[in-house]
Amino acid sequence: LPQYEKVEKIGEGTYGVVYKAKDRYTNETIALKKIRLEQEDEGVPSTAIREISLLKEMQHRNIVRLQDVVHNEKCIYLVFEYLDLDLKKHMDSSADFKNHHIVKSFLYQILRGIAYCHSHRVLHRDLKPQNLLIDRRTNSLKLADFGLARAFGIPVRTFTHEVVTLWYRAPEILLGARQYSTPVDVWSVGCIFAEMVNQKPLFPGDSEIDELFKIFRSFSYKSYMWSCFKLFHAS
């Protein structure tokens, strides 16, 4: 990569490795997401194709900016604006969240970003504190990691239910629904909001069954089972 110089590795996930890097031409600090290409017969991972195509279409102050895409025979690099903090790290290390103005500001920015996604018929499907990046100079917040995102249409399409980190997963997905829409993102936002206020996860289940049990305990069991009954009979 002649234009970009890696500085350090800052993250790693199922779909790639993220580096802090520097643009040799502009001296700008950027984030490089390295995605290994699959075996020759499989080509570019579908998660990378989705993330690139969706982020090229979406330009918003609360969505991380994709600046460039660079590829060679072995891998693809996505070049993003650099933000050195995520909401999870911020909650773990800062007393800011005792200030309700900060919580309200972050919640508003999350909702504004996800409203933009939904208005462009995009489900994020993996909202969690680790995927919400913060500019600590301005306290601006941006949605990131669109590798599991999907475009949706009317009527609602059939999707996989294996999405969203467990603690932020909507009950209809936990119950195996394959037809769902924007409410799955709104549920995740609600869980994140509660975590900012309480400084602990709302439903920290260690399995899908445990996650559902924690949700059932928090709501009226009768009304919740009735909504589940209606969900299954509607599908």
Give the residue numbers annotated as catalytic, written as ranges: 126
Residues 189, 110 contacting (CB under 8 angstroms): yes
DSSP state at residue 175: T
Residues 64, 117 contacting (CB under 8 angstroms): no
Q: Which amino acid does the sequence have at 165?
A: T
Question: DSSP string spanning 196-219?
Answer: HHHSS-SS--SSHHHHHHHHHHHS
Cα atoms found within 13 Å of the Cα of residue 82, Cβ hemisphere only: 19
Burial of 92 (0-12, 13-18, 19+ CB in 10 A): exposed
Q: How many residues does the chain have?
A: 235
CA-to-CA distance for 235 and 233, rounded, in angstroms? 6
CA-to-CA distance for 64 and 78, rounded, in angstroms? 12
Q: How many CB atoms lie within 10 A of CB 73?
A: 6
